[in-house]
Amino acid sequence: MTAYSRRRIITGLAVALAAPTLARAHQVKLPDHFNLTAVQTGRTDWLPGEIHVLPDEFHLYLMGQGGAAIRYGVGVGRKGLYESGVFTVARKAKWPWWRPTQSMIRRDPGKYAKYKNGMKGGPNNPLGARALYLYDDQGRDTYLRIHGTNAPSTIGSAVSNGCARLTNEHVKDLYERVEIGARVTLHPKVTSA
């Protein structure tokens, strides 16, 4: 990530810190702590422009300077499907195309086999309005995503097939702030849920 990119993110955080108004635009009533909020994490070891997902809190943090961050509520992978690690945002898409993985089809063919050839982007697509594609250090697609959802009531729960999901309104905001090359840490779950 370039110095210019970091400055842009930090500038964006300053705007968000001054007036985080997007949370008021929700069509679904979320608990206050899952709404987009400017926070001070106290984590100076988390660098500007990085994303940190804390699955037990159901929060995603986009970091700014000195521990400042924008916090978003998320849904995460259900038991046995959440994968922790450090990844890179290698691609971004608006209204992304989606295809279930072979593992998803094997686990639940009744739900996913009909989509084996994929689904075009749009309001009914499970990836929602935007997607950030997470790659490993060897440049391979992990099939993990940070994406929107057409089921905003799932924010704050562990129900996905491994991805982190935000409301469509929140993922649109995050999408505009995150640069290709941003580091993403999906922190380990401490609870067994």
Active-site residue (options: 59, 147, 170, 187): 147
Q: Are 62 and 185 in contact (CB under 8 A)?
A: no
The DSSP element (H or E) to which 177 belongs, if any, is helix 168-177
Which candidate, 62, 69, 87, 41, places its Cα nearest to that of 176?
62
Q: Kindly report the CA angle at 7 between 67 and 87, in degrees rounded to 5?
A: 65
DSSP letter at 88 equals: E
The DSSP element (H or E) to which 7 belongs, if any, is helix 3-18
For residues 6 and 116, what is the distance between their CA atoms, to the nearest angstrom?
39
The residue type of 184 is V
Active-site residue (options: 26, 33, 59, 163): 163
Q: Is 170 a catalytic residue?
A: no
Residues designated as active site: 147, 163
